[in-house]
Every structure is written in C-alpha cells, then in structure tokens.
Amino acid sequence: MNVDMTVLMGVVAEKGMSLEKLISAIENGVAAAYAELPEAKPFGRAVLNRQTGQIVIWVPVLGPDGEHIDSVMDEPEDFGAKATSTARKVIKQAMRDANDATIVGEFSGTVGDVISGIVQQGRDATVIYVDLGRVEGKIPPNEQTPGEEFKHGDRIKAFVVDVKQGEKGPEVTLSRTHPALVKVLFALEVPEVKDRTVEIVGIAREPGHRTKISVKSNRQGVSPKGALIGPMGSRARAVMDELHGEKIDIVDFSENPAVYVANALAPAKVTSVEVVDLETKSAKVVVPDYQLSLAIGKDGQNARLAARLTSWRIDIHPDKPSERIAKPKPVVESEAELGAASEAETNEGGPVSAE
C-alpha cells in the first residue's frame, strides 16, 4: 500500500492545499475501509509514511484492564489494492473540494453585484439555470419576475444573492426581483452613478410592473434625473429593456420630507403636502381632482411605491371633493301628470326628491 509522495506534493502545491490535512484525510479514509473488512481488528488506524508514501495499518494490543501495551501491524490479504483505491478517491475528492472552495471564494466577491450568463435547459422546469462559466447559477421561483420567460441559450443578467458550498458543489443563487438589480443596472449604464457624482438614494420595486428610484447629485450643476435618463432617454431605456419593459419612475430626493413625498408621487402633480406627524412619518397629500387616479395608480400601485420609497404613510385627498348630486325630478310631460304631482305633494306635505 503506497502513495506516490511526489504526485501528492505536486497536487498540494497546485491546489494550494495543506499537506497535513490531505494526509490526515487519506489516513482516515483507509482506516474506514479497513474497518469494513470482516477480519478487521478493533481500533485499527492507518499511518502514511511521509518519506516513502507507504500506508500501514496499526492495531493496538490492550492489556487486561484495557491499557495500551503495544501496537502491531496488520496486513489483511488483498487489502493493498483497496487501500490504494481509497487513497486515490480521497485525493480526488480533496482536489474537488479545493477547486470548489476556489470557485466559492471567487464568486463570493460578486455577491451584491450583477452577473451575466447563458440560460441552460435545467432538470427542474421551475428553476432558471444560468451558465456562469466555471459554475452554474440558479434563479429559484421566488427570485423570478412574473411574466418573464427565458429560453435555452438566452443571455441574462441577474443579481447575485448568495454563494455557498453545497452538497454537490458550489451554489450560486441569483435574482431577477431584487431591488438592487435596478440600481446596479443603472450603475453599468450611467458613469455618473459609478463615480458617485450621482447617488441612488432609494428604490421601491414591484418586479415586472414598476420601479421608483430617488436620486440626488453630489456635484453642483449635475442633474441626477438627467444623468439616469440619458441622451434621448437611452440610459433609462436600456435598463427597462433589460427588465423586459418594466416601467421606471426617476424622482429627485429631498431632505425636506414634504418635498420628497410630493416628488415620489410622480407622475402625478401634487397641490400640497402637510406633515401630519413627524414621529410616525404620516403625511396628508392634496392633489387636483383630475390627478387623483394618477396619484393613487392602478390598484394603488403608485401610492404604494411612493410610500415604500419614502418610508412615509401617505394619505391622498382631492383638492375639490365631489359633492353628492341629487337625483333630478322626473320631467312633467302633461297637465294630467302635473296635476297628479301637485296632489302627491299636497298629500305628502312636500316636494318629491331622490338621493
């Protein structure tokens, strides 16, 4: 039972592994294989000679009281081939583990960033598999945007949520729903965001439908909204195309909560904003009658996203609440009907009206 120490040292140097840890793994693997033999003696342990590469099984000799008296070498018949095979398996597994650790370390640096890959046909139809080169990423159902469909071979950009060592190798979890996906996509398109001239302060997103982004400029004379929109809207359009047409509202951030709330309700025009309670962050917003539905949005989406973006509770009211309109009286078409109506008023003590 021998291991080529020259090869072993080469593997250790190439993979950056610990020699002692690898030798310990080989010894444990061979000892476990020995213990499975029918003729194996209790407490047998494998020892690898660091100079010659020879693996020997040592079995303790115990006294009447269980004390260790001596150790003897055991050489079961035909065990040499099994021990050598076990050592090879351990070395290969250690190499895979070292390679996986390298990949995990490499991709751990991409957590919180956007990565590009090619969609692959996967085993599970509910999961989107993405070829990232050295490893395969996964977009689970809860990280997929409703309505988005990808085919085998499509190029895709996704946000890296987590990287870890799984039971079957490195696992890279990706997301198409994370709000930060929009932020990083804009950073890729807008140099002013990358160099921090323009800062994205907040993001509220309903994936596949609408996103609101608040921005501010850290340099005088630079329009933050203009930077994100780009010439002829090219930058914002590029991000929306990557998100398959998801609408994006870009609004100006303000330290003044009333102004910030008003901006967040764009594209609706706001008449006034009253801070009701600063501690609970509650505000009353008044909008023109004809802007009420726009301010609230379809199924309350615009108001909901504005509240999430600003972290304020927003109550929206029209500036001229519609008054109740009385139902008109029926038109009297003949003298007979007029007489009947007069008689009814006399009997009931007043005019007839409906609300």
Three-state SS letters, the chain: CECCHHHHHHHHHHHCCCHHHHHHHHHHHHHHHHHCCCCCCCCCEEEECCCCCEEEEEEEEECCCCCEEEEEEECCCCHHHHHHHHHHHHHHHHHHHHHHHHHHHHHHCCCCCEEEEEEECCCCCCCEEEECCCCEEEECHHHCCCCCCCCCCCEEEEEEEEEEEECCEEEEEEECCCHHHHHHHHHHHCHHHHCCCEEEEEEEEECCCEEEEEEEECCCCCCHHHHHHCHHHHHHHHHHHHCCCCEEEEEECCCCHHHHHHHHCCCCCCCEEEEEECCCCEEEEEECHHHHHHHHCHHHHHHHHHHHHHCCEEEEEECCCCCCCCECCCCCCCHHHHHHHHHHHHHHCCCCCEC
**Both structure tokens of 114:** 């956007």
The predicted structure's pLDDT at residue 325: 41
pLDDT given for residue 54 in this prediction: 86
Q: How far is CA 151 from CA 1, 122, 154, 301, in A?
A: 52, 11, 6, 30
At residue 334, the pLDDT reads 43
Distance CA 87, CA 81 (A): 10
Comparing C-alpha atoms, which of 168, 164, 144, 166 is closest to residue 156?
144
* Interatomic CA distance for residues 158 and 207, integer angstroms: 13
* CA 187 centroid distance within chain: 17
C-alpha distances (whole Å) from 243 to each of 80, 148, 179, 240 are 60, 9, 12, 5
**pLDDT in 10s for each residue of the chain, 355 residues:** 678 888 888 888 887 788 888 888 888 999 998 898 888 888 889 998 888 888 888 888 888 877 888 888 888 888 888 888 888 888 888 888 888 888 888 888 889 999 999 999 878 889 999 999 889 999 999 999 998 999 999 999 999 999 998 878 889 999 999 999 999 999 999 999 999 999 999 999 999 999 999 999 999 999 999 999 999 999 999 999 999 999 999 999 999 999 999 999 999 999 999 999 999 999 999 999 999 999 999 999 999 999 999 999 999 999 876 543 444 555 544 444 444 444 444 444 433 333 3
**pLDDT of 336:** 46
Q: What does the pLDDT read at residue 330?
A: 53
- pLDDT attached to residue 342: 47
Count of C-beta atoms within a 10 Å radius of residue 223: 13
Interatomic CA distance for residues 87 and 2, integer angstroms:
9
Q: pLDDT at position 345, please? A: 45
pLDDT at 328: 52
Q: Which residue in this structure is represented by tokens 């909008």? A: 287
What is the token pair recorded at 236? 């914002």
Residue 98: what pLDDT?
83
List the structure tokens of 220: 């005088």
pTM: 0.72
Q: Which long-range contacts (CB under 8 A, 24 or more apart) does 183-187 make?
A: 183/213, 184/113, 184/114, 184/159, 185/114, 185/157, 185/239, 185/242, 185/243, 186/213, 186/228, 186/235, 186/239
Nearest CA-CA partner of 82 in 50, 22, 39: 39
pLDDT of residue 302: 95
Q: What is the pLDDT of residue 62?
A: 83
What pLDDT does 205 receive?
Answer: 96
